Structure 1
Amino acid sequence: MRKQRAKVVRVGVDLAKSVVQVHAVDAGGAVIAAKQLPRAGFLPWCEQLPQGCLVAIEACSAAHHWARRLLAMGIDVRLVAPAFVAPYRMSGKTGKNDANDAAAICEAASRPQMRFVPVKTPDQQSWRAIHTLREGYIIERGSCMNRARGVLAEFGVLFPLSTEKFHNELLGVLRGSDDELTPLARMALRKCLAHFDELEGQIAWCTQQIERHVATDPRAKLAMSVFGVGALTASALVASVGNMNHFKNGRQFSAWLGLVPRMSSTGGRPKLGPITKRGDAYLRKLLVLGGRAVLTAVSRRDDAFSKWAVQLHARVGWSKAIVAIANKNARILWGVLSEGRDRSEDPRH
């Protein structure tokens, strides 16, 4: 087996929680090894690979961790986006399993035009974790408020939707006595209010950390020079994209975010649909929200970008204009971060 291992030129790896499926081929594409390894046996197996061997991993959970471990061993590692792997699965959608996925990853990595996912650093993943936790706390806060509203509605108490008013309004209800709330219901709602306050504290802490990130990271500061990009977007962008030069141009970056229209063209007749919504959904959402903020403010500005946005709004309507602004800002961000140029210094901005 040691002699066969020396012939391996490319390995496809499908990760799972407790096992790792590998698919190794030689220079001619012949299969050298297709086996399932225990998690603890994966790195020792990789240590036996020849110098210059390419190891391709699907960009899923823990992929960046394994990639960093393999890079430290001197192995050439590439991360392949799941969307680029599926077309190379020979058995199609009906034959998905670990072995077929590993073979598809290996085949996808062999394509000359394949685009790979940059390996994130621990710092990038740490900052992205703050964003992920913050989003989760916000969802939990909404659920907590809705539960309280549902309980109060059963007792004939109507409650406002505003998050800002929730604490004081619920506290007022609990201190009052002109309703049908029983002592047990009041006790339960007090616990609900305490949970709400705890979530508010968690969200505030995450927001403070994100603001600190933007204040100390020069690339995040550059991103914030773009009209419509705030602290959340700037921090998430730096945490999600290590080096903007991995993208050939701004359109490729925008396509990676899923902000370009779907195409279904044939016979020279172009047909464009809604945006693809591929890539990073969280970052795309932040850019779209930033586009909405831009469109709200452009009527009070007189620069070229704002004039373009006003004309765009008049031509295509509110929703399409917001997405178009998000698309344009994605391209601008690519230029700003790849060139290291502050957008606020641009007289056209």
Structure 2
Amino acid sequence: MDKITRIGVDLAKNIIQVHGVDSMERVVVRKAISRQKFLEWFANLEPCLVAMEACSAAHYWGRKLRELGHEVRLIAPQFAAPYRKGGKHVKNDRLDAEAICEAAGRPHMRFVAVKTADQQNTLVVHRMRSGFVEERTALINRLRSELMEFGVFLPQGIEAFRAHFVEALEDGDTELNGVARTALLQGWEHLRALDRQITWCDAQVATQVKHDSNTQRVMAIIGVGALTASAAVATVGDARLFKNGRQFAAWLGTVPKQKSSGGKTRLGRITKQGNTYLRTLLFQGARSAVTSAHRRTDRLSRWIVQLQARVGWYRALVAVANKHARILWAILAKGERFDPSYVSTPQHRASHGTTAV
């Protein structure tokens, strides 16, 4: 067998397809391997470039293959799909592995950083918390709608719901019978259990933030708290993979869509691509920064106030989220510190090492 220089891997739960080429781009190997024998097969190969789609279990396999001496690159699925023979009309594991192998050989292809086990452990807490929050919101809406069927209308907001639910349930003037009241009371107990789970997740995130210097520096950004800082550091990993702050903001989906042609620039709404969870947290932080900007006198806050007066609340919110993303990149990629009164001059940058706003 000729020496394999690059392998494309299409991951699956049980049967994994590989497609390998040599230095002359000739196909050397094309086969399916069971999950149990996957690492054993790669252990018998000389170190080479292994490319996989950034999907479920990809980071785990990436870490294991790196331990065997291979160079691992993860590709976003949308970047590998155009190289699949047959396009979107023909799809199977063999063609996917070939497309991944071909995409990994392109000189300007962008790759996803392989996450460490610590990063993924942190993200487990965030994902569980996010799931608990979604479940709690759905439960509150369900309980509220059931009470509405009996003419009981509770005020909007989760805190108002907590304050009036038990009182409404105990009201003897409603048409609720004993079984219905018991069922709703069980829903209330489930709500309290979800609150405890969310509180536990928040405590774990707060503990992790205290022992991480990167998250501490990220939390200095106005409107960014422990939850956003922890999620950003765990999700981004090595921010140096992004060339600049704008590229990072584009990855998060906070830049406008472009439909430009013929020398005419046409910009639309933001793309909303990338990590939805992290982008949502950044927008929540931006909302806090915009709301409280008039109470501060630093340079960034004055810019926010002027921007809001000029373009309105929602556009200012998007602009602040985009700026937070760029500042976040500078902090993680360059090790800089946030300064809301930063003035972009070469002397200031060299002496203070702070981020531009």
If the TM-score is normalised by the length of the shorter chain, which range does it land in?
over 0.9
Q: Distance in 2 between matches of 1:96 and 1:206?
A: 40
Say if 2:17 and 2:32, in contact at 8 Å, map to a contact too: yes
Say if 1:167 and 1:193, in contact at 8 Å, map to a contact too: no
Q: Distance in 2 between matches of 1:203 and 1:258?
A: 27
Shift, 1:344, TM fit: 4.0
Amino acid at match of 1:131: H
Q: Distance in 2 between matches of 1:173 and 1:271?
A: 53
Alignment of 1:91-110 (within 5 A): 91-110=86-105
Please, which of 129, 134, 148 is the counterpart of residue 134 of structure 1?
129
Deviations 1:31-52 (A, max 9, x none): 222222211121112122223x
Q: What is the match of residue 351 of structure 2?
A: none
Alignment of 1:36-185 (within 5 A): 36-51=32-47, 53-185=48-180
Is 1:260 the counterpart of 2:255 in the alignment? yes
TM-score for both structures, normalised by structure 1: 0.94
Q: What is the match of residue 243 of structure 1?
A: 238
Q: What is the match of residue 231 of structure 1?
A: 226
Say if 2:19 and 2:98, in contact at 8 Å, map to a contact too: yes
Deviations 1:241-292 (A, max 9, x none): 2222222211111111111112222222222122222211111111111111
- Give the secondary-structure state (helix, strand or coil) at the position aligned to 1:158: coil
Q: Distance in 2 between matches of 1:72 and 1:262?
A: 40
Shift, 1:347, TM fit: 5.0
- Give the secondary-structure state (helix, strand or coil) at the position aligned to 2:64: helix
Instruction: Tell me: higher relative CO, structure 1 or 2? Use CA pairs within 8 A at least 6 residues apart.
Output: 1
Shift, 1:228, TM fit: 2.2
Shift, 1:177, TM fit: 1.6
Say if 2:65 and 2:72, in contact at 8 Å, map to a contact too: yes
Q: Distance in 2 between matches of 1:278 and 1:27?
A: 35
Q: Distance in 1 between matches of 2:313 and 2:341?
A: 27
Structure 2 stretches of 5 or more lacking a match?
Answer: 344-356
Deviations 1:160-207 (A, max 9, x none): 232113334222233332211101001101111111010010011111
Q: Distance in 2 between matches of 1:227 and 1:327?
A: 13
Q: What is the match of residue 304 of structure 2?
A: 309
Runs of 4+ off more than 6 Å: none
- Give the secondary-structure state (helix, strand or coil) at the position aligned to 2:55: coil
Q: Distance in 1 between matches of 2:299 and 2:169?
A: 54
Q: What is the match of residue 198 of structure 1?
A: 193
Is 1:10 the counterpart of 2:21 in the alignment? no
Amino acid at match of 1:26: D
Q: Distance in 2 between matches of 1:325 and 1:168?
A: 34
* Segment of structure 1 superposing worse, 215-224 or 331-340: 331-340
Aligned residues: 344
**Sequence identity (%):** 50
- Give the secondary-structure state (helix, strand or coil) at the position aligned to 2:234: helix
Say if 1:259 and 1:276, in contact at 8 Å, map to a contact too: yes
Shift, 1:339, TM fit: 2.6
Q: Give RMSD over aligned pairs.
A: 1.6
Shift, 1:132, TM fit: 0.7
Is 1:292 the counterpart of 2:287 in the alignment? yes
Q: What is the match of residue 269 of structure 1?
A: 264
Shift, 1:326, TM fit: 0.8
Structure-2 change in CA distance of 1:347 and 1:275 (3 Å):
closer
